[in-house]
Amino acid sequence: MIKPLRIAIQFLTILPVKVRHPEEKDFGRALFYFPLTGCLLGALLGGLAAALHFLPPMVAAAILTVASVGLTGGIHLDGFADTCDGLYGGKNKDRALEIMRDSRIGVMGAAGVVLLLLLKFSVFSSFPSGELWKLLIVSAAFSRWAQSFACAFFNYAREEGKALNFIHHAREADIVLGLIIVLAPAFFFWRLQGVLLVVVSFLP
């Protein structure tokens, strides 16, 4: 397995993939593989959803919600909680960043995580099993691609952080090519409606 792909899997999942002596440029190249890693996560969750088809929908949705957090180590929930605390508690940029650096979770962060998980649970329980696994693959690929897009086209708010190597070595061509990894399954599952779904999801 090539090193940038291993970096993407190690960074985005808890899967036992080790990367020895990575170069800084490898982090930038790993962004191309973010949506592919998302496809992998979606496929794992889709397989679990298929295996749980005999359970009541709400029970299966609860297990899927737990699994989606477990497979990523909750990395996105941690960032989302920090964002909620910073946006609602910070009167200015410096204060918001100070709040986000605090390892303790605030009221808005806790509320945001609970509401986000409730939303995810409601989506998982609402879709028919025949469509849910497709949604899991495409949405997981798109969300990881969105991360790579942010690394390439947005400024980092801090002068230090885990994402700096990704940002400093991001290549716009990799981000554009990575979008193909998102559009391919969307088109395969739902044809032009799937492509339109991805485009609409990207609009601000």
Q: What do you get for the CA distance between the two ends of the chain, in Å? A: 35
Q: Can you give the pLDDT at residue 108?
A: 94
pLDDT tens for 73-118 read 998 898 899 999 998 887 788 888 888 888 889 999 999 999 999 9
Q: Can you give the pLDDT at residue 94?
A: 82
Least confident residue range of 52-56, 159-163, 177-181: 159-163
pTM equals 0.92
Pick the most confident of 22-26, 36-40, 92-96, 153-157.
36-40
DSSP reduced 3-state for 120: helix
Output the DSSP codes for 76-94.
Answer: HHHHHHHHHHHHHH-SSHH
